[in-house]
Amino acid sequence: MAVTLDDKLVVAISSRALFDFEEENRIFDKEDPGPYMQLQLDRLDVPARSGVAFSLVKKLLAFNTPDQRRVEVVVLSRNDPVSGMRIFRSAEAAHVPLERGVFTQGRDPFRYLKPLGAKLFLSANEDDVRQALAQGHPAARVLTESRQAGGNYPDEVRIAFDGDAVLFSDEAERVFQQRGLDAFQAHERGKAAMPLPDGPFKPLLVALHKLQQATAGGMRIRTALVTARSAPAHERAIRTLMQWNIAVDEAMFLGGLEKGVFLREFEPDFFFDDQTGHVRSAARHVPAGHVMPAPIEPLPADSPAEPPALPREGAEAPPLPQA
């Protein structure tokens, strides 16, 4: 019988997201990768330090048992195969059981996400993440400067999600961006009973939900919705999750408050957000990834509510009320 990953939660991750290769990366030159390759070869027996997503990966792999593998982590990297040897040796030294890897030596790696059936792609490469998201894969650019996860919850994978443009579509976000806070609140109040369309990270949330249901004892999953929405816009987000038949463990409706200090208390192994300001705030306290948004498309011309006056060029946008 052929080996398949169809029944597993597959996470694809780049080497810089899993390990701290920032020193090596500083000498990388795509026109002449030789010095980088030689440095990795020289350090073949030197285990790399853990990277931003290391805690998440190690905890997810702990769901596997000798009798059943429920999670598969695949290194998907622009590195060369020689550098790949150091990645696998570093994983072995850290007792992280990695078995699979794809090394493209500078070529686009994201095209392998589809055959892998990946439910998450984490990379420090912005272009790769954008391409993956455009193809419909849950993906985030890892902020390598993020604070790493603490060790207070060794038996619990803790993941926090933004709402709009992450778990949910950017429908409501477009209303706010183009028509302002009052129009946004009216839009969400009027559609409170109508579920939001799916966002790019719904497949990951569904996969985590299935993983939790299939696991008896041992490792657990704890999720949080951390959104800049506030009442009355909270109701539509909650009803959407109810319609999906998925419950998050915690929900924070912060009404534009800085998210980082709240995430510090939740202590996630990873946080996903589409807004640069929120991601940077989070990265000071927890591992964070940027779900880079697609360009905001204009609302239909016949849509109700008049748009607010456009800010002058170069002016900052108003505080964001959506997730």
Count of positions (residues) in the chain: 323
Report whether 305 contacts 183 (CB < 8 A): yes
Tell me the C-alpha distance between 14 and 241, whole Å: 30
**Structural tokens at position 266:** 């939740």
Instruction: Say how many C-beta atoms besides its own lie within 10 A of residue 314's C-beta.
Output: 5
Tell me the C-alpha distance between 319 and 228, whole Å: 10
Catalytic sites, residue numbers: 162
Report whether 201 contacts 223 (CB < 8 A): no
Rg (CA), the chain: 20
Report whether 240 contacts 229 (CB < 8 A): no
Is the alpha carbon torsion for 56, 58, 61, 62 positive or negative? negative
Report whether 229 contacts 321 (CB < 8 A): yes
Tell me the C-alpha distance between 111 and 269, whole Å: 27
Instruction: Say how many C-beta atoms besides its own lie within 10 A of residue 317's C-beta.
Output: 9
